[in-house]
Copies of this chain bind each other. A is one copy, B any other.
Amino acid sequence: MRAAVLTGLEQVVLEDRPEPEAGPGWVVVQVESASLCGTDVHQYDGRIDTPFPRVPGHDFSGRVDSVGEGVDESWVGRAVAVKPSLPCGQCPECLTDKPFDCKKKKLIGLWSDGCMTERIAVPVVNLIPRPDGVEAWQASLLEPLAVGLNTVDRLRIVLGESVVVLGQGPIGLALTRLCALSGAGRLIVTDAREAPFEVSRAYGASDCIDVTKTDATQAILDLTDGAGADIVIETSGFPSSSAMVLDAVRKEGKVAHIGWANDLPPLPVIPIMAKTLTVFGVGGNGGRGQYERSLELVRSGRIDLDPVVTHRFSLDDVAEAFAVASSKSDGAIKVVVNP
């Protein structure tokens, strides 16, 4: 079968690979849609170390093709979304049937070959049945929502609180929508390009700030009577954005940090104390039902994923898909690959 393979920095080629087989407790999934996220792109551009050659990709959906020993036969043919991390299967949590509390979970496509291929084997515990009315491409875009849910669940927005979302990439946009749904009052977003702002507004943003043209901290203070926002969520992973969170939040406010980069500046402690802040670190999707709830938000129409998908490619054109996603050219937000 065909598979996209990262063979080096910015090198992705199509190869023929052997068919996967489902071991005990595993299934083979026919990939129907896969999406590219920041991790894939950073594996491609080198900001995340990857053992080459590697089949990339972890956010996908499809249909169960075959099942291994001990897995109910009724799974065969079912449409599914797939959780993107593999439990280790060896730790106390895995051995006592809590695989998603596994502290050694490994991301598919980084630590093992991923979903940019025709078929892939995964543990049955990673499957979520895809309900009627949710299409494959939608179910391949759940991870930003699950990460966002893990964030708003901890922030516990009080109805009417002002929220700032720094960065309007896929996770930033997911948070814009989730904060709007969760009771945000004034909802201010920032980005270094204007391309995503149309989606931001459709998702509920009240104010969009282009950081290349405006002093974002000052603008946020102006929009909040000089007090700062109740909540500031940093998703961009840019040092300059991370550096402003403590100035943009009000006294006794809340900060969430999600954007991940090696060059983020550290947070000074004095303002965290002086302003009596609460800082939430968010390191993933939580693994406690956030995927299932994300799927329901899509199914019920509370989140319309259509405007974030700016580009679609076939597996044959996967090199171009990576090039577009990496350069963010042509207003790219989300790039979807359909094997």
Contacts and interface: CB of A to CB of B under 8 A. Distances in A.
Interface of A: 96-99, 103, 125, 149, 152-154, 156, 158-160, 178, 181-183, 185-186, 206, 242, 251, 257-258, 260, 262, 264-284, 293, 296-297, 300, 302
Contacts of A159: 149, 152-153, 178, 181-182, 293, 297
A228 B323 CA distance: 42
A281 B154 CA distance: 17
A293 B160 contact: yes
A293 B274 CA distance: 23
B185 A302 contact: yes
Contact of A276 (B98, B160, B276, B282): B282
Nearest to A289: B160
B264 A275 contact: no
A179 to B, nearest CB: 10
Contact of A278 (B125, B154, B160): B154
Nearest to A161: B293
Contacts of A281: 269, 271-279
A283 to B, nearest CB: 5
23 contacts: A159-B178, A159-B181, A159-B293, A160-B297, A183-B183, A185-B296, A185-B297, A186-B300, A206-B300, A260-B273, A265-B269, A266-B266, A266-B269, A267-B272, A272-B281, A274-B283, A275-B281, A275-B283, A276-B282, A276-B283, A277-B280, A278-B281, A279-B281
A63 to B, nearest CB: 20
What number of copies of this chain does the assembly contain? 4
Interface core residue of A251, A279, A281, A282 (most chain B CB under 10 Å): A281
A296 B293 CA distance: 30
A280 B278 contact: yes
Contacts of A98: 97
Nearest to A234: B269
* 4 A-B pairs closest in CB distance: A272-B281, A266-B266, A97-B97, A279-B279
Given A159-B149, A297-B160, A300-B185, A258 B273 contact: yes
A269 B293 contact: no
A167 to B, nearest CB: 14
Contact of A262 (B97, B270, B271): B270
B242 A257 contact: no
Contact of A279 (B103, B153, B272, B274): B272
Nearest to A258: B273
Contacts of A282: 273, 276
